[in-house]
Amino acid sequence: MISLQTRLRLAIGGAVLVAVSVSLLVGAYLVRRSLERAAFSGLQRQVGLLAHEDVRPAPGQFGRFLATQDERLSVLPKQQARLLLPDSPTGRIAINERDYLYATQDIGPDVVVLLRTASSVRSESKPFWVALGAAGGIGCLLAVALAAMLGRSIARPVLRVARASRQLAEGSQPEALPVVGASELRGLSESFNTMAGQLTRARDAERSFLLSVSHELKTPLTAIRGYSEALDEGVFTPERAVKVIRIEAARLERLIADLINLARLDQQRFDIYPDTVDLVEIARESAARHAARARDLGVRIQLEQGRCASARADPDRLLQVVSNLIENALRCTPRGGTVTLATAAGELKVKDTGPGLASDDIPHAFDRFFLYRRYNNERPVGTGLGLAIVRELAQAMGGEARVAASPTGTEFTISLPLPKTRDQLDALHAFTAS
């Protein structure tokens, strides 16, 4: 298959060569004509001079007087000249199979005839033909160079787009294309860059959501496994274990629905269904969820309840948030330590008696993999995704996640919007009813 660049080079080179050839042919025709005209007018001038000279030859046959290798001069009676020569005072004539150019001048009853061999005229014009040939050769070389340059400059941006598209199709992120050249090529590069950016963002969002959902599947599974083991060992009553297992199975179902929606490409982040939630209830459920694991690790989970602790949030998603924080706290707190869940209006805190975080960790604590990379070698770590999911979910519910730490422990705070007051609800109902 011929490449675009070769095609363009052939097309441009061919077009320029045709143009150069046509110009050369026209040029050659015009040069030939003007050389012949110059030769005839030279002959005419010469014969005119000779006609008035005293050295004029006597009338006689062609070539009897003043014959040189290339020229012959004769004086003929008009009658004879009319028989031998065409009517015109200048022209071409063949004598003994040799071509001549001639010019005539009447002098009384005679005609002076000057003949010049066509070959001598041709040899005089040789330098013109050489110059014309050289110009043609240079023209052809320029045509080839121009075709190569133009072919390359037009094909290069297209080839760049083709290469970048291939990279994009293979799943890698191509570098942004330079926006240069003619307006059409600039437009092509710009559109490609926009498309590649959108595709990469969509792909990243999908990958990130897939990671988050898969990550969140761990928590209910761990709770189900912990409770079933504890049930086996007879640590918890069957009623308590079955209740937790049933709730966790329902949560697994919601996460699997997230995965199905992701596969259908109509969801790229956790969906949120806000409701008025009781944070004390959420804290209690979270503690129950992790009770089996806390017992294994020898860490106590305690609840510190405020008076009014309602907020507006999606209860399942909030449970995901608190679970992530409790999981971290349990993993990082030494045996014998305590994890405290404190609630207040629109606020839920997870405090522990673990090793804490350095002050310069605080601004980046919720960045994906930041703390994971930092403490990978000195603390038990998971996959490094949990805190990023905590922040994403807290923000999606209209709240925020914060952290404060000291060498004696860490305190994560989730702030959430407060539920609408009775007055606000009444106003809302009145508005929607009107």
Residues lying near ligand ATP in the complex (CB under 6 A) are found at: 215, 324, 328-329, 332, 352, 354-355, 357, 371-372, 375, 379, 381-387, 410
CB of 184 to Mg ion, least distance (A): 52
For residues 34 and 125, give the distance between their C-alpha atoms in angstroms, rounded to a whole number.
10
CB of 389 to ligand ATP, least distance (A): 8
Task: Choose one: 49-57, 120-128, 137-145, 324-332; the region binding Mg ion (CB under 5 A).
Answer: 324-332
∠ CA 184-187-192, nearest 5°, is 130
Task: Choose one: 76-84, 110-118, 279-287, 386-394; the region binding Mg ion (CB under 5 A).
Answer: 386-394
For residues 1 and 79, give the distance between their C-alpha atoms in angstroms, rounded to a whole number.
75
CB of 347 to ligand ATP, least distance (A): 17
Q: Which is nearer to ligand ATP, 51 or 404 (CB)?
A: 404
CB of 290 to ligand ATP, least distance (A): 13
Q: Cβ(310)–Cβ(417) under 8 Å?
A: no
Alpha-carbon distance values, 354 to 58, 173, 338, 340, 351 (Å): 137, 41, 8, 12, 9
Q: Cβ(133)–Cβ(28) under 8 Å?
A: no
CB of 329 to ligand ATP, least distance (A): 5
Tokens of 16: 């320029």
Q: Which is nearer to ligand ATP, 154 or 385 (CB)?
A: 385
Say which entry of ligand ATP, Mg ion, none residue 154 contacts (CB below 5 to 8 A, set by partner kind).
none
Interaction of residue 328 with Mg ion, rule CB under 5 A:
yes
Q: What is the dihedral of CA 187, 192, 197, 201, to 10 degrees?
A: 140
Chain-centre distance for alpha carbon 209? 25
Q: Which residue is nearest to Mg ion (CB)?
A: 386
CB of 325 to Mg ion, least distance (A): 8
For residues 260 and 137, give the distance between their C-alpha atoms in angstroms, rounded to a whole number.
70
CB neighbours (10 Å) of residue 69? 7
CB of 11 to ligand ATP, least distance (A): 59
CB of 291 to ligand ATP, least distance (A): 18
Q: Which is nearer to ligand ATP, 315 or 355 (CB)?
A: 355
Say which entry of ligand ATP, Mg ion, none residue 355 contacts (CB below 5 to 8 A, set by partner kind).
ligand ATP
Task: Choose one: 2-10, 18-26, 237-245, 380-388; the region binding Mg ion (CB under 5 A).
Answer: 380-388
Interaction of residue 74 with Mg ion, rule CB under 5 A:
no
For residues 276 and 64, give the distance between their C-alpha atoms in angstroms, rounded to a whole number.
133
Tokens of 74: 């004769």
Say which entry of Mg ion, ligand ATP, none residue 354 contacts (CB below 5 to 8 A, set by partner kind).
ligand ATP
Task: Choose one: 3-11, 133-141, 161-169, 377-385; the region binding Mg ion (CB under 5 A).
Answer: 377-385
For residues 278 and 319, give the distance between their C-alpha atoms in angstroms, rounded to a whole number.
12
Q: Cβ(125)–Cβ(37) under 8 Å?
A: no
CB of 200 to Mg ion, least distance (A): 27
Q: Which is nearer to Mg ion, 77 or 382 (CB)?
A: 382
Binding mask 215-244 for Mg ion (x = CB under 5 A): ------------------------------
Q: Which is nearer to ligand ATP, 185 or 389 (CB)?
A: 389
Q: Quick one: CA dihedral 193, 194, 195, 199, positive or negative? A: positive
Q: Quick one: CA dihedral 206, 209, 213, 218, positive or negative? A: positive
Say which entry of Mg ion, ligand ATP, none residue 352 contacts (CB below 5 to 8 A, set by partner kind).
ligand ATP
Q: Which is nearer to ligand ATP, 13 or 354 (CB)?
A: 354
Interaction of residue 386 with Mg ion, rule CB under 5 A:
yes
User: Which SS3 state, helix, strand or coil, does residue 65 take?
Assistant: strand
Q: Which is nearer to ligand ATP, 196 or 389 (CB)?
A: 389
User: Which SS3 state, helix, strand or coil, does residue 45 take?
Assistant: helix
For residues 168 and 174, give the distance between their C-alpha atoms in angstroms, rounded to a whole number.
6
CB of 355 to ligand ATP, least distance (A): 6
Number of residues lying near Mg ion (CB under 5 A):
3
Q: Cβ(369)–Cβ(386) under 8 Å?
A: no
CB neighbours (10 Å) of residue 304? 12
For residues 357 and 297, give the distance between their C-alpha atoms in angstroms, rounded to a whole number.
21
User: Which SS3 state, helix, strand or coil, does residue 43 take?
Assistant: helix
Contact residues for Mg ion (CB under 5 A)? 328, 382, 386
